[in-house]
Amino acid sequence: MRRKSTYRSLASLKRDEAVCRACTEAGYPLESLPVIAPGEGQRAYLFGQAPGIVEGQERRPWRGRAGQTLRRWLAMDEDAFYETFYCASVTRCYPGKPPSGRGDRTPTPVEQQLCAFWRDQELKLLRPQLIVTVGGLAARSLLGVKSVTECVGVRYKLGDAVAIPLPHPSGASSWVNVPANKKRIAAAVELIRGELAKI
């Protein structure tokens, strides 16, 4: 594993991140190599939970159905989505299934902490004006909120950036189909579009 104390470019950071095995070296069972943000020059930072199985196989973020739903919410095609957002997540490797077999395993606090190194370095280099968190874990990790119900539709300040949470678009969550929550999602998307128009 290669980790410098600090990075001077995203290209250099991505090269080392792509071969990171910190969690497997710490004994955690990961089922993919790191998924790396494609492209360059993005103006906003998108922060999700962890890659799914499809993303782990392709080593590109938001390739599965959740990604399609997210782009539909944002009314963006793939090109616009990847050009706008530097796509990162709380952890960067597919964590596999939990013992129940339902959904994907939630990364442990230790894995989250090991991977926060990459997030912190990215935010230092990118200095994004807009951060969109996707899902409860990402919002809790970055904003310290307790639930998506509390934060979706709200605009936060995070240092010099504006942060706007979205729920996770995975079909595993029924939260997104509750009428009151659909209004929260619409409000959050409106806020995101407003912020993107400024930057």
Q: Binding ligand SF4 by CB under 6 A: which of 23, 130, 131, 189?
A: 23
What radius of gyration, in Å, describes the C-alpha atoms of the chain?
A: 16
> In the complex, what is the shortest distance from the CB of residue 25 to ligand SF4, in angstroms, rounded to a whole number?
8
44 is a site residue for ligand SF4 (CB under 6 A)? no
115 is a site residue for ligand SF4 (CB under 6 A)? yes
137 is a site residue for ligand SF4 (CB under 6 A)? no
HEC string of 33-99 equals: CCCCCCCCCCCEEEEECCCCHHHHHHCCCCCCHHHHHHHHHHCCCHHHHHHHEEEEECCCCCCCCCC
92 is a site residue for ligand SF4 (CB under 6 A)? yes
Contacts of 35 (CB under 8 A, 6+ apart): 51, 55, 56, 59, 60, 61, 89, 92, 93, 94
104 is a site residue for ligand SF4 (CB under 6 A)? no
Stretch that binds ligand SF4, among 21-29, 64-72, 122-130, 133-141 (CB under 6 A): 21-29
Residues that bind ligand SF4 (CB under 6 A): 17, 20-23, 30, 34, 91-93, 111, 114-115
